[in-house]
């Protein structure tokens, strides 16, 4: 049985403009230029100005741009009213300079022309002296299947399928293995390995050939360990290795030192510079210490010089003058509505950029005041416990907004450029009732582990007791969590000879 019921409910719905604003807020300064360029390309009513250029008032009333044609008189009145409002707006300067925006020196880096890692391998394949066309196709397919670390992680059957599909070459697993041995002889050593063990063995054999007289015995022992006792080596069962290989502690130590010199990612041994390896951090904020007083400013890249295209203003004026005393035709209305939509979009984007600046500045200023002791001293132990809610309460902004500001943003200080999200941490209570940041506990934990006896590393239980002796109430599982967050392995894997 069908029934119709009326119900009322309240729900929040984000407009497309609000969504765009959130996205603008989240992107770092380094990628803001690209976002501005995209908007300039898509909206002809928006243009870049210069220092002396006037930018039209963005505080005027904005129309939705979704007018209908049901009531021609109402439409003419609203359109005429909009045009009059826009034309009579006083131009104002948009850029927020002087105190809150700081120019950052432009540093253009020269771009080196170089070949990629795979091109480097392909050139070496041409020098292997492979005359058989089928073998050459297999070698090229294997090289193309090597990943960014230098490993071949595709199964032979998958390579066979690829060869059949792309080159119409029917190969066998034996042929793949035969050609792979040749590919594994390419530079850098270890390339084309299928496992870490195979990669290290290839590199050790290469070192033995190139340096036959240097540490000959240590290299021989190291090769035996990699070939026959790799599992014991990875688990650091040094006593078992000594017993199985009849080695003294010094001999085992020399062999392990030879292994530790090897590269687990052979592709990183590629000598040519990789264009993607250089990651330059562009600070979003600059904090300057002026005789004990902190001064905060935004990177100048956060304030692009944008304005409304003058040509569109002239078009609106022309339309208004030409329609005086007569009713506008439908085509003229459609044209001016298009102009109106583009101008509204440009005004909104300029307003969003300004709002982004204000939100970034207010959030970072609150963080700076909250962590004032750290920014004046640079001592990480002076960092206070701070969560997103703390800054949200100070700024009056939503927690999600604070999270977007903190994400992928950096601040330049006299102690180096820091990631904004690293200033946020939970708190724990010490034995005397004082709240301290978990960052402080992590730093102390790191210091304890660095100072431990590497021949007998401390267990998590012992680390817990040592922290409790220093006054920190902490559980063993919390110690394990902090240790993992610091990328420090368990005690067994920290053991050294």
Contact 472, 428 (CB under 8 A): yes
Residues 416 and 432 in one domain: no
Q: What is the pTM of this model?
A: 0.57
Tell me the sheet residues that pair with 413: 416
Residues 129 and 264 in one domain: yes
Separation CA 280–CA 275 (nearest Å) = 12
Contact 392, 406 (CB under 8 A): no
Please report whether residue 309 resides in a domain.
yes
Q: Supply the DSSP string of 90-109, one letter for each residue.
A: PPB-----TTSEE-----PP
Separation CA 220–CA 267 (nearest Å) = 25
Tell me the sheet residues that pair with 137: none
Structural domain tally of the chain?
A: 3
Please report whether residue 7 resides in a domain.
no
Residues 138 and 218 in one domain: yes
pLDDT score, position 277 = 46
Nearest to 474 by CA among 423, 422, 431, 424: 431
Residues 356 and 255 in one domain: no
pLDDT score, position 213 = 73
Residues 438 and 403 in one domain: no
Q: Show the domain range for 400.
A: 16-57+68-103+277-424
The domain boundary, picked from 249, 269, 289, lies at 269
Residues 137 and 95 in one domain: no
Going residue by residue through the chain, which has 497 residues, state the pLDDT in tens, using 9 for 90 and above.
677 888 787 766 656 666 767 777 778 877 888 888 888 888 888 887 654 334 333 333 444 334 443 444 444 445 566 556 555 554 443 344 445 565 555 555 454 555 688 888 888 888 888 888 888 888 888 888 898 888 998 898 998 888 888 888 888 989 889 989 998 888 888 899 999 999 999 989 888 888 777 778 888 888 899 989 888 888 888 888 888 888 888 888 888 888 888 888 888 867 554 444 455 778 888 999 888 888 898 887 777 778 887 787 777 777 666 666 566 667 777 777 888 888 888 888 888 888 888 888 999 999 999 999 888 888 877 888 888 888 999 999 888 888 888 888 899 998 888 888 888 887 777 777 777 777 778 888 888 888 888 888 888 888 888 888 888 888 888 888 888 888 888 887 787 76
Residues 135 and 201 in one domain: yes
Separation CA 244–CA 238 (nearest Å) = 10
Residues 480 and 438 in one domain: yes
Please report whether residue 111 resides in a domain.
no
CA 228 to centroid of chain Cα atoms: 41
Residues 318 and 395 in one domain: yes
12-68: per-residue pLDDT in tens? 665 666 676 777 777 887 788 888 888 888 888 888 765 433 433 333 344 433 444
CATH, residue 495: 1.10.10.60
3-state helix, strand, coil in the chain (%, to 5): 55, 10, 35
Residues 33 and 134 in one domain: no
193-233: per-residue pLDDT in tens? 999 999 999 989 888 888 777 778 888 888 899 989 888 88
The domain boundary, picked from 269, 290, 321, lies at 269
Please report whether residue 297 resides in a domain.
yes
H or E segment at 288?
strand 285-290
Please report whether residue 44 resides in a domain.
yes
The domain boundary, picked from 227, 248, 269, lies at 269
Nearest to 207 by CA among 152, 268, 261: 261
Contact 183, 138 (CB under 8 A): no
pLDDT score, position 200 = 92
Residues 141 and 160 in one domain: yes
330-377: per-residue pLDDT in tens? 777 777 788 888 888 888 888 888 888 888 899 999 999 999 988 888
Contact 254, 242 (CB under 8 A): no
């Amino acid at each position: 049985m069908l029934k119709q019921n009326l119900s009322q409910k309240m729900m929040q719905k984000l407009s497309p403009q609000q969504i765009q604003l959130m996205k603008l807020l989240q992107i770092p300064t380094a990628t803001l230029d690209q976002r501005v360029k995209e908007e300039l390309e898509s909206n002809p009513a928006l243009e870049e100005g210069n220092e002396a250029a006037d930018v039209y008032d963005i505080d005027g009333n904005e129309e939705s741009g979704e007018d209908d044609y049901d009531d021609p008189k109402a439409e003419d009145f609203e359109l005429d009213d909009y045009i009059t409002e826009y034309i009579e707006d006083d131009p104002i300067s948009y850029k927020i300079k002087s105190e809150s925006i700081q120019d950052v020196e432009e540093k253009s880096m020269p771009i080196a022309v170089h070949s990629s890692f795979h091109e480097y391998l392909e050139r070496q394949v041409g020098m292997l002296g492979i005359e058989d066309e089928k073998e050459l196709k297999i070698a090229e397919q294997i090289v193309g299947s090597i990943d960014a670390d230098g490993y071949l992680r595709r199964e032979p059957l998958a390579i066979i399928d690829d060869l059949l599909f792309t080159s119409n070459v029917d190969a066998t697993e034996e042929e793949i293995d035969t050609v792979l041995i040749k590919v594994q002889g390419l530079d850098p050593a270890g390339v084309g390995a299928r496992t870490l063990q195979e990669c290290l063995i290839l590199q050790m054999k290469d070192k033995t050939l190139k340096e036959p007289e240097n540490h000959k015995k240590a290299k021989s022992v190291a090769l035996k360990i990699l070939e026959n006792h790799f599992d014991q080596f990875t688990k650091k069962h040094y006593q078992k290795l000594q017993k199985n290989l009849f080695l003294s502690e010094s001999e085992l130590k020399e062999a392990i030192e030879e292994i530790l010199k090897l590269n687990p990612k052979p592709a990183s041994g590629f000598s040519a510079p990789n264009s993607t390896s250089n990651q330059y951090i562009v600070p979003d904020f600059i904090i300057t210490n002026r005789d004990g007083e902190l001064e905060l400013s935004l990177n100048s890249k956060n304030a692009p010089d944008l304005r409304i295209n003058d040509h569109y203003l002239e078009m609106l004026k022309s339309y208004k003058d030409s329609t005086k005393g007569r009713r506008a035709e439908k085509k003229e209305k459609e044209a001016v509505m298009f102009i109106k939509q583009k101008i509204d979009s440009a005004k909104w984007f300029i307003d969003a950029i300004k709002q982004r600046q204000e939100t970034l500045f207010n959030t970072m200023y609150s963080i700076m005041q909250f962590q004032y002791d750290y920014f004046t001293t640079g001592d990480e132990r002076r960092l206070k416990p701070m969560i997103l809610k703390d800054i949200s309460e100070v700024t009056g902004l939503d927690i999600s907004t604070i999270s977007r500001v903190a994400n992928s943003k950096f601040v330049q200080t006299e102690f180096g450029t820091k990631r904004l999200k690293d200033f946020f941490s939970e708190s724990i209570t010490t034995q005397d009732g004082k709240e301290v940041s978990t960052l402080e506990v992590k730093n102390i934990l790191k210091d304890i582990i660095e100072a431990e006896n590497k021949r007998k590393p401390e267990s998590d239980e012992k680390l817990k007791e040592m922290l409790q002796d220093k006054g920190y109430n902490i559980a063993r599982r919390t110690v394990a969590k902090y240790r993992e967050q610091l990328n420090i392995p368990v005690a067994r894997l920290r053991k050294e000879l």
